[in-house]
């Protein structure tokens, strides 16, 4: 008789399989009949890092100082540079001591969530949600309370609906703007109302602003939360350097929060990462200010790709573009078409177009596909309607 296999952690077993590798596996049967494969599954910049940034990354990687441990909360030079950047963007005063650098934006969320909620408690996520947020909560034994967002509202979450759905388990509300997966951009007034709700109910408000460098109005203020002197009591800001600087492989993100949260966050930082990657920190600390014009040019480039996708979607008679922004478009399937999971499989295997089906992003998304157009040049974006028309 064979010995019993040792068990695995139940919370990990309950966590969803990573969606992007699963979706890419559907394309293995594609024979190329519709043209070259177009992979629109992952949110990656469609251009390389700046050559001077690559040079600094290479130099820092070869520096023995960057091979040593760094500060638990991140190197001072990067925290200072990011604090100045945040202060300028939000027209507020944010200090380096408000910041912790992390090994990527996903880890920023996972570590912040570890401090904010524990097993048996809950976090509210607008649905559709970013799947890695839901996965991070599930593997911690933290429940997700969905906040349904509607296409007729542009997928902007409703604070009144959130208030009605809160239950005693909820410790935090999470917003993502510009949103992943829909691309929706949340108005400052809506964000302010969520902050008021969280203050009134004694909850944390977590806002993931990974894509804030790609907002359509670079002169506008994304929200006014940092301008409130008491922001540190309720607000947690998440950021990623991956998109704006085209360095997702170097894994750098950030958390901005008040001293009460950061005092506990240090325990998680030290346990899960000890320190963030040193070479990337060194290079990005220089790049934040030095590459500001390059970042703005890339913002305009991405805005052009968004416009191109909107124009391409206008050629579709039966599909509907329900939301678009940042790196993403959220497409509604034609009436009578198969559900999103079946359609995404068909598009990948028969039409060579890789997208992510809505159910990967939570309940009630069976009629939508997420399209990450950021890595596609204009000719590939223009080709997308041809693949969809043939499929739908």
| Topology (CATH) of 14-48+293-389 | 3.90.1150
Count of H-run helices and E-run strands, the chain: 14, 13
- Separation CA 208–CA 131 (nearest Å): 13
| Correct CATH for 51-291 of 3.10.310.10, 3.40.640.10, 3.90.1170.50, 3.20.20.370 | 3.40.640.10
Tell how strand 235-240 and strand 204-208 pair up: parallel
Is-cis flag, bond preceding 178, omega within 30? Answer: yes
Close Cβ partners of 202 (under 8 Å, ≥ 6 residues apart): none
- Residue extents of the structural domains in the chain: 14-48+293-389, 51-291
Inter-residue contact 124 to 147 (CB < 8 Å): yes
- Which tokens is 57 given? 């990354």
- Does this model's pTM top 0.85? My answer is yes
Give CA–CA dist 366/333, Å, rounded.
9
pLDDT tens, residue order, the chain (392 aa) = 678 999 999 999 999 999 999 999 999 999 999 999 999 999 999 899 999 999 999 999 999 999 999 999 999 999 999 999 999 999 999 999 999 999 999 999 999 999 999 999 999 999 999 999 999 999 999 999 999 999 999 999 999 999 999 999 999 999 999 999 999 999 999 999 999 999 999 999 999 999 999 999 888 999 999 999 999 999 999 999 999 999 999 999 999 999 999 999 999 999 999 999 999 999 999 999 999 999 999 999 999 999 999 999 999 989 999 999 999 999 999 999 999 999 999 999 999 999 999 999 999 999 999 999 999 999 999 999 999 986 65
């Amino acid at each position: 008789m064979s010995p019993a296999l040792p068990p695995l952690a139940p919370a990990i077993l309950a966590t969803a399989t990573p969606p992007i590798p699963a979706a890419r596996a559907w394309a293995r049967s594609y024979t190329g009949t519709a043209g070259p494969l177009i992979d629109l599954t992952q949110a990656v910049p469609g251009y390389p890092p700046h050559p001077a940034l690559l040079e600094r990354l290479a130099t820092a990687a070869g520096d023995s100082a960057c091979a040593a441990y760094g500060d638990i909360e991140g190197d001072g030079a990067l925290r200072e540079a990011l604090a100045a950047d945040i202060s300028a963007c939000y027209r507020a005063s944010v200090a380096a001591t408000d910041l912790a650098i992390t090994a990527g934006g996903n880890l920023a969320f996972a570590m912040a969530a570890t401090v904010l909620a524990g097993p048996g408690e809950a976090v509210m996520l607008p649905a559709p949600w970013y799947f890695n947020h839901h996965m991070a909560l599930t593997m911690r034994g933290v429940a997700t309370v969905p906040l349904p967002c509607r296409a007729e509202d542009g997928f902007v979450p409703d604070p009144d609906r959130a208030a009605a759905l809160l239950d005693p388990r909820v410790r935090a509300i999470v917003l993502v703007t510009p949103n992943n997966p829909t691309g929706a951009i949340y108005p400052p007034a809506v964000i302010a109302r969520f902050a008021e709700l969280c203050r009134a109910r004694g909850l944390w408000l977590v806002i993931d602003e990974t894509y804030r460098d790609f907002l359509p109005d670079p002169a506008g203020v994304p929200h006014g939360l940092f301008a409130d002197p008491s922001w540190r009591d309720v607000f947690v800001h998440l950021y990623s350097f991956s998109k704006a600087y085209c360095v997702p492989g170097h894994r750098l993100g950030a958390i901005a929060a008040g001293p009460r949260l950061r005092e506990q966050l240090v325990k998680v930082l030290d346990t899960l990462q000890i320190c963030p990657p040193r070479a990337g920190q060194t290079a990005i600390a220089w790049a934040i200010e030095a590459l500001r014009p390059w970042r703005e040019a890339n913002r305009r480039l991405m805005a052009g790709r968004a416009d191109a996708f909107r124009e391409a979607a206008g050629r579709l008679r039966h599909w509907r573009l329900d939301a678009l922004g940042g790196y993403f478009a959220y497409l509604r399937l034609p009436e009578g078409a198969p559900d999103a999971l079946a359609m995404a499989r068909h598009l990948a295997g028969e039409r060579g177009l890789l997208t992510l089906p809505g159910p990967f992003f939570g309940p009630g998304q069976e009629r939508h596909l997420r399209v990450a157009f950021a890595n596609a040049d204009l000719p590939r974006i223009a080709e997308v309607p041809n693949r969809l028309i043939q499929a739908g």
